[in-house]
Structure 1
Amino acid sequence: MTDAHSAAPFAALSFDRLTPDGAQQAINRPLAEEVPVAIEYNGAGYAVLMATPADIGDLVQGFSLAERLVTRDDALLDVDVHDTGAGIIARATLPPHRTDGLLDRVRHRASDSSCGLCGIENLEQAIRPLPRITATSQADRAAIFRALEGLRDHQPLNGATGAAHAAAWVDAEGAIRLAREDVGRHNAFDKLIGAMIRSGADWDGGFALLSSRCSYELVEKAALANCPLLVTISAPTRLAAERAAQAGLPIVVLARSDALLARDPI
């Protein structure tokens, strides 16, 4: 896989800092980069994401799992990343036995939802059955609080810009083993899952910690990655909580340094 590209994850721009007492000061403020990332599979255009230009190979791997183009047991044969100046093109090759799934997903993504039948098909694709979680987390509440305390040390982009989400793989003791950042919460989780797949890592009794709300899309990504426990900083939607229950995915939400909410025993 080739992840080379020239774009940096953040850049500085000039601003005037204004205060209520009328003072004005020129400052340089780091801003997180957000660029279009066009993903192609087997030579066919598939999607364009707005993402931070870092760890693109991980992003493509995790996104491919979320789109159900591959499974956790599949590896993309190749991903070539090219910075065009106007954005990034990531060209991926799927295994031959996955090309039928690619054609099916392209058909649904391109369908016209103004047609009644097509609309029904699109809704069915949006809320597809999730696999049941088979992994088990050994983490207790002390491990979750320990991970929350250490998350900031794994957020250099957010530390510089204040504009990035983080997704972390945490072990059963609460130590953060791996983290990825992106301006998009979905992208950050895709990058983390992709990095774990590419390195052959498993959850090993740990959990995922996300610096975002618990949306149904993140629940689906966790279920497809067989994540044994999902912990998020902010609240869930009702659909997210329902989908997590259907998949047997324990969730911990509104996880802060002084308290958290758990739907299952921790």
Structure 2
Amino acid sequence: MKESGGALSLWVQTYQQGRSEELHDLLADEVPVALVYNGVSHAVMMASPIDLDDFALGFSLSEGILADASELYDWALQETDAGWVVEMTIASQRMAALKARRRNLTGRTGCGLCGTESLDQAIRPITQVQAPQLSHSAVQRALAALEQYQPLQAITGASHGAAWCSLEGEILLMREDVGRHNALDKLIGAMASGRPSQPTLDHALEQQGFALVSSRASYEMVHKSASVGIGALVSVSAATALAVQQAQLADQLLIGFARPGRHVVYHRPTAQAVANG
């Protein structure tokens, strides 16, 4: 197989309407990614091998390993025969806190709680957020544009996307991954990195907006987005009951089943959080 931008090429055999054919296809790549902090391996996640710097930073923030991007002093990316390794140097006080948590995650693509040591650790306290005033038309505008911002999904049909959108529904930034949690972490990391020509996390939250994800709204998606101050989460698929409960605790605007011409508001923090128009 030949790799290209998060996808691998492969000859496949298709069968359609009684006819078999050999075709060239593109498959989403999925590799182990080890996240190493100050020389200590903390997490191994299955992910798309693109935007791994964003993934490492976003995971560190959404999992509470770092409180701010400035606490990541340096990082290096290394490819090995077994996968990818992201070596990070973080603030000593954050490393001490990480060691105290005694967590060692070995995560599959859809896993958000792998490695949690007890039931008491499963549901962590959630951060309070400020929900923006969001119009129904803005949700629909962002949804209509989502497909054209997902090149990996377009060629493989097997990746998730997470987008940061303005309150007018314009998609400002997008990240993709085979895992829905990873895609959101990559978006968070990209925004927190402060690169020129893209919205920074602090500025984006100050100006307000919403996150749009191509997956269901699970507990982890609500928790990760709220952990960095995102006040509104819109998902293409349904929300779980626990996700709604957590959105209520965080005072986060939660919308799901976002499809052309319709969507469902699961939690609206104030009477005006979703405006007509």
TM-score normalised to structure 2 length = 0.86
- Cα displacement string for residues 183-226 of structure 1 (whole angstroms, at most 9, x for unaligned residues): 00000000000111111332321100000000000111011011
Partner of 1:227: 230
- Cα displacement string for residues 147-203 of structure 1 (whole angstroms, at most 9, x for unaligned residues): 000111110000000000000000111100000000000000000001111113323
CA contact (8 A) 1:75 1:198 kept: no
Of 114, 118, 125 in structure 2, the residue corresponding to residue 129 of structure 1 is 125
- Cα displacement string for residues 31-58 of structure 1 (whole angstroms, at most 9, x for unaligned residues): 0100000110000011110000000010
CA displacement at 1:20 relative to structure 2 = 3.5
Q: Does residue 21 of structure 2 align to residue 18 of structure 1?
A: no
Residues 240 and 187 (structure 1 numbering): CA distance in 2 closer, same or farther, change over 3 Å?
Answer: same
Alpha-carbon distance in structure 1 between the residues aligned to 2:166 and 2:116: 41
Partner of 2:251: 248
After TM superposition, list the pairs within 5 Å mapping 1:12-161 onto structure 2: 12-21=9-18, 23-72=19-68, 74-105=70-101, 107-109=102-104, 122-133=118-129, 135-161=130-156
Alpha-carbon distance in structure 2 between the residues aligned to 1:7 and 1:161: 11
Residues 37 and 109 (structure 1 numbering): CA distance in 2 closer, same or farther, change over 3 Å?
Answer: closer
Partner of 1:188: 183
For 2:10, give the aligned amino acid: L
More strand by share: 2
Instruction: Kindly report structure 1 stretches of 4+ aligned residues shifted beyond 6 Å.
Output: none
Alpha-carbon distance in structure 1 between the residues aligned to 2:228 and 2:16: 47
Partner of 2:165: 170
For 1:11, give the aligned amino acid: L
CA displacement at 1:13 relative to structure 2 = 0.6
After TM superposition, list the pairs within 5 Å mapping 1:185-224 onto structure 2: 185-199=180-194, 200-201=200-201, 202-203=204-205, 204-224=207-227
Alpha-carbon distance in structure 1 between the residues aligned to 2:209 and 2:77: 31
For 1:93, give the aligned amino acid: T
Structure 2: state its 5+ residue gaps: 106-114, 195-199
How much identity, in percent, do the aligned residues show? 40
Residues 84 and 7 (structure 1 numbering): CA distance in 2 closer, same or farther, change over 3 Å?
Answer: farther
Alpha-carbon distance in structure 1 between the residues aligned to 2:103 and 2:54: 25
CA displacement at 1:84 relative to structure 2 = 1.1
- Cα displacement string for residues 234-262 of structure 1 (whole angstroms, at most 9, x for unaligned residues): 00111111011011111001011120001
For 1:257, give the aligned amino acid: P
CA contact (8 A) 1:72 1:225 kept: no
Aligned residue-pair number: 250
CA displacement at 1:73 relative to structure 2 = 5.7
CA contact (8 A) 2:166 2:209 kept: yes
For 1:94, give the aligned amino acid: I
CA contact (8 A) 2:159 2:176 kept: yes
CA RMSD of aligned residues (A): 1.8
